[in-house]
Structure 1
Amino acid sequence: MTDEPLLRVSALSKFYGSRVGCDNVSFDLWPGEVLAVVGESGSGKTTLLNCLSTRLLPSSGTASYRMRDGQFRELYRMSEAERRFLMRTDWGFVHQNPADGLRMTVSAGANVGERLMAVGDRHYGKIRATAVDWLSRVEIEQDRIDDEPRAFSGGMRQRLQIARNLVTGPRLVFMDEPTGGLDVSVQARLLDLLRGLVTDLGLAAIVVTHDLAVARLLSQRMMVMKDGRVVESGLTDRVLDDPRAPYTQLLVSSILQV
Structure 2
Amino acid sequence: MNTAHSPAPLLSVRNVGKRYGDRVALQGASFDLWPGEVLAVVGESGSGKSTLLNAIAARSAPDEGTVQFRQRNGELQDVYAMSEAQQRLLARTDWGFVHQNAADGLRMDVSAGANVGERLMGLGERHYGKLRSTAMEWLQRVEIDAARIDDAPRTFSGGMRQRLQIARNLVTQPRLVFMDEPTSGLDVSVQARLLDMLRQLTRQMQLAAIIVTHDLAVARLLAHRMVVMQRGRVVESGLTDQVLDDPQHPYTQLLVSSVLQP
Task: Calculate the TM-score normalised by the size of structure 2.
Answer: 0.97
Matched, 1:100 2:92: no
Q: Distance in 2 between matches of 1:153 and 1:20?
A: 38
Contact 2:119 2:171 in 1 (8 A): yes
Matched, 1:137 2:171: no
Unmatched 5+ stretches in structure 1: none
Identity %: 71
Q: Which residue of 2 aligns with 1:201?
A: 205
Q: Residue 52 of structure 1 is aligned with which of 48, 56, 61?
A: 56
Partner-residue secondary structure (3-state), 2:68: strand
Q: Which residue of 1 aligns with 2:184?
A: 180
Q: Which residue of 2 aligns with 1:40?
A: 44
Q: Residue 238 of structure 2 is aligned with which of 234, 238, 256?
A: 234
Matched, 1:219 2:243: no
1:86-138: CA deviations, max 9, x gaps? 00111000000000000001000000000111122111101100000000000
Q: Distance in 2 between matches of 1:193 and 1:27?
A: 26
Q: Which amino acid aligns with 2:193?
A: R
- Cα RMSD after superposing both structures: 0.7
Contact 2:6 2:34 in 1 (8 A): no
Q: Which residue of 2 aligns with 1:8?
A: 12
Q: Which amino acid aligns with 2:124?
A: G
Matched, 1:86 2:90: yes
Q: Distance in 2 between matches of 1:26 and 1:154?
A: 34
Q: Which amino acid aligns with 2:62?
A: P
Matched, 1:151 2:165: no
Partner-residue secondary structure (3-state), 2:173: coil
Using the TM superposition, give the Cα deviation of residue 69 of structure 1 relative to its aligned residue in structure 2, in angstroms: 1.0
Length, aligned pairs only: 258
Using the TM superposition, give the Cα deviation of residue 2 of structure 1 relative to its aligned residue in structure 2, in angstroms: 3.6
Q: Distance in 2 between matches of 1:75 and 1:198?
A: 23
Q: Which residue of 2 aligns with 1:247?
A: 251
Partner-residue secondary structure (3-state), 2:209: strand
Q: Residue 189 of structure 1 is aligned with which of 179, 193, 196?
A: 193
Q: Distance in 1 between matches of 2:251 and 2:37?
A: 25
Superposed structure 1 runs of 4+ greater than 4 Å apart: none
Q: Distance in 1 between matches of 2:127 and 2:200?
A: 29
Q: Which residue of 2 aligns with 1:126?
A: 130
1:170-218: CA deviations, max 9, x gaps? 0000000000000011000000000000000000000000000000000
Q: Which amino acid aligns with 1:244?
A: Q
Partner-residue secondary structure (3-state), 2:237: strand
Q: Which amino acid aligns with 2:72?
A: R
Matched, 1:70 2:80: no
Q: Distance in 2 between matches of 1:160 and 1:209?
A: 20
Q: Which residue of 1 aligns with 2:29?
A: 25
Unmatched 5+ stretches in structure 2: none
Using the TM superposition, give the Cα deviation of residue 19 of structure 1 relative to its aligned residue in structure 2, in angstroms: 0.7
Q: Distance in 2 between matches of 1:39 and 1:120?
A: 40
Q: Which amino acid aligns with 2:87?
A: R
Q: Distance in 1 between matches of 2:52 and 2:25?
A: 8
Using the TM superposition, give the Cα deviation of residue 21 of structure 1 relative to its aligned residue in structure 2, in angstroms: 1.3
Q: Which amino acid aligns with 1:177?
A: E
